[in-house]
Amino acid sequence: MSIDSFLDEPSRGTGQGLDVDATLPGVNEGEIVVIRSTRRKKNVSAYRAGGRIIVSIPARMSKADERAMVPEMVAKIRAQEAAQMMSQSELAARIDELLRQFAPEITIRPTEVAWRAMRERWGSCTSLDRTIRISDRLKGAPAHALDFVLFHEAIHLEISDHGPGFKAILARFPQAELAGAYLDGYEAAETALAMPQELKKLLNK
């Protein structure tokens, strides 16, 4: 996704005051961003980026059409994510598979693996109670990116730091570089969305 996708003018910031139903989940939390694009003539698109749902609409779309279209597009994205999202038991099973394949010496298994709303980390592990939490930003992510984070956190069940021993095991993951590129790109998109409007306008000149 090009950085240019983020340089159009958001119609109302990061959700506050959106001209849509105020009861729409995610509006007040800033999860939904509506962008009025001068390059978009008729079609409306929606996608997940930087932990937010971005709805791109034509610049000339009426307020009434915006109120009708935005909830519909947000619902489609959430339905797609629900269909793609692994359950907690499936996440645990995947961790078991990854450890058996790439780190058979680690015999500890998590007592719980759960999705969490995390914006600063991709995942976390508490070795004391053997719980693992995965950022909901990874819902619908490529399998190799999710697997990489699951494997990373699973190693922490036995190795708490990021020392040589940890890195040696993590390096066994065959798509580590590709997964790292995806995660870095995602965070770059998130940073772009958080960019002050004045700077966006400057870059767009």
Q: Which domains does the chain have, with CATH numbers?
A: 3-83 (no CATH), 88-174 (3.30.2010.10)
Residue 113: per-residue pLDDT: 95
Give backbone dihedrals phi and psi of 133, rounded to 5 degrees, phi first.
-120, 135
Reported residue count of the chain is: 205
pLDDT in tens, 15-41: 433 444 444 555 544 678 888 888 777
Whole-angstrom distance, CA of residue 104 vs CA of residue 161: 19
Q: Are 145 and 177 in contact (CB under 8 A)?
A: no
Compute the mean pLDDT over every residue in the chain, rounded to the nearest whole number.
80
Residue 204: per-residue pLDDT: 52
Q: Are 76 and 46 in contact (CB under 8 A)?
A: yes
Q: Among candidates 147, 116, 68, which has minimal Cα distance to 124?
A: 116
CA 185 vs CA 82, 148, 167, 191: distances in Å: 23, 15, 22, 10
pLDDT in tens, 141-194: 888 999 999 999 999 999 999 999 999 999 999 999 999 998 988 888 777 766
pLDDT for residue 56 is more than 50: yes
Higher pLDDT, 106 or 79: 106
pLDDT in tens, 78-93: 777 766 678 899 999 9
Reported as a pLDDT band with limits 50, 70 and 90, residue 123 is: very high
Look up the pTM and report it: 0.60
